[in-house]
Structure 1
Amino acid sequence: MYLFLILAMVVSWLIQWRLRSKFSEYAKIGLQSGLSGKQIAELMLADHGITDVRVISAEGRLTDHYNPADKTVNLSEAVYEERSAAAAAVAAHECGHAVQHATAYSMLQFRSAMVPALSAVSRFMPFILIAGVFMINRSLIPLGVGIALFSLTTLFSFVTLPVEFDASKRALAWIDKRGIVTTTEHAMAKDALWWAAMTYVVAALSSLATLLYYVSIFMGGRSRN
């Protein structure tokens, strides 16, 4: 189990490195359409009849996200201004989430419903798990509670997968149909989004591995008690 956790960390780092490398590479190749990330996002929202979502610039790199609470598509400064295959991919992907929200996509609704509970438990869950490990010879209850809470974060990471893959699917279909990208640029956008999706896959598997690690400790303690 320890080896699997270490392997997951290494793979996660490699994918993050590859993702940044891909985005840096594709960011240097200008779109033939000449549209910026902001313009692409606004056009995709308009094409889907979404008029109550704003496209704004966010600080940082790869900080792009859709916020359903205030209905904003937040594009990192580079994506907001850039006119590249990478910017087109990211802008359309985040708008894909806005389309999911507008069409009441079930998996997005499920994930959103989990957020309040996760926000509440994430503050004290690590302390419960640590306390549970140290108290395992006295009582299994603290560790059991910690595992139950951690299972929510694992479930959330797996629920996130179809949400992210669906947003990318919507994005790629739209930029192709709308003529935002050429065939070559579409391949770049697809590749960039694939690597971005892999970060979520690795995160989900890492969460599952960590959960199983704590379960193994629990089962070991149970056999001794």
Structure 2
Amino acid sequence: MFYFDDTMIILLPALLISAWAQMRINSTYEKYSRIRSANGYTGAQVARRLLDSHGLHDVPIELVRGKLTDHYDPRNRVMRLSSEVYHGTSVAAIGIAAHETGHAYQHEERYSPLVIRNTIVPVVNLGSNLSWVIFFFGMIFSIPSLLTVGILLFLGVVVFQLITLPVEFNASNRAMDVLEASGILYGEEVTGARKVLKAAAMTYIAAAIASIAQLLRLIALSNRRRD
């Protein structure tokens, strides 16, 4: 963002949604991280069991620092769980561990949206950094072609965020199916884990909305400068 002007209003709804989504995941996670599962499995034990049941014996599970920093690394075929999830026996910990296992399943099966997302990551990372620089110079020197290039590069960020949605939803669906089918969670525990994953999904929806709003702002600024 270069300066505050009336195009900032385009971002306001996205900022509000993002703030709400973050508060929701924090509150939902805190609630269900205090509810211990009946079986008493840790997140790491659940992840190991689910990976092994899918033939992924060679995928290690590692500790990672931070809170809600859990992720599956497809490049190195490693699952990384935060301490609260790795050692935790809560409904929230198990739901998150199973979700990351869902990503490992996707990677093993070459789930199309995940393959596409992984393929465009380097281009999107480069484009997200360059888009603002190029657009900025286009604004400063009134060069329409640079404005267009900046917008097109940022469009890649929007595409990435949109592709992320089916990847995350599918991983959550896989997680809930396997947790219920395997008897790792029961009854209200399943409901609680589902609420945690739905709250997490909202953060990805909010990120997609924010990127679209930012793209619309760039287009609005570009049209104003062209005029």
Normalising by the smaller structure, the TM-score range is over 0.9
1:189 aligns with 2:188: no
Which of residues 110, 118, 123 is equivalent to 2:124? 118
- Select which of 179, 184, 187 maps to 1:180: 184
- The percent identity for this pair of structures is 38
SS in 2 for 1:29: coil
In the TM superposition, structure 1's runs of 4+ consecutive aligned residues that sit over 3 Å from their partners are: none
> 2:109 is matched by which residue type in structure 1?
T
Asked if 1:155 corresponds to 2:159, the answer is yes
Q: Which amino acid aligns with 1:56?
A: E
Give the conservation status (yes or no) of the 8 Å contact 2:102–2:171.
yes
1:46 aligns with 2:52: yes
- Secondary structure of the residue that 2:17 maps to in structure 1? helix
What amino acid sits opposite 1:195 in the alignment?
Answer: A
1:202 to 196, 206, 209: 206
* Contact 2:10 2:217 (8 Å CA) reproduced: no
Deviations 1:106-139 (A, max 9, x none): 0000000001112223333221122222233xx2
Q: Which amino acid aligns with 2:59?
A: V
Instruction: Quote the offset at 1:141 in angstroms.
Output: 1.0
* One-letter code aligned to 1:182: Y
Structure 2 runs not aligned, ≥5 long:
1-6
CA distance, structure 2, for counterparts of residue 63 and residue 133 of structure 1: 37
Give the Cα separation in 2 of the matches to 1:129 and 1:171: 41
Q: TM-score, normalised by structure 1?
A: 0.95
Aligned length: 221
Match for residue 216 of structure 1?
A: 220
1: CA distance, partners of 2:178 / 2:200: 18
Partner-residue secondary structure (3-state), 2:129: coil
Match of 1:67 in 2: 73
**TM-score, with structure 2 as normaliser:** 0.94
Residue 83 of structure 1, aligned match among 89, 95, 108: 89
Using the alignment, how far apart are the partners of 1:52 and 1:133 within structure 2?
51
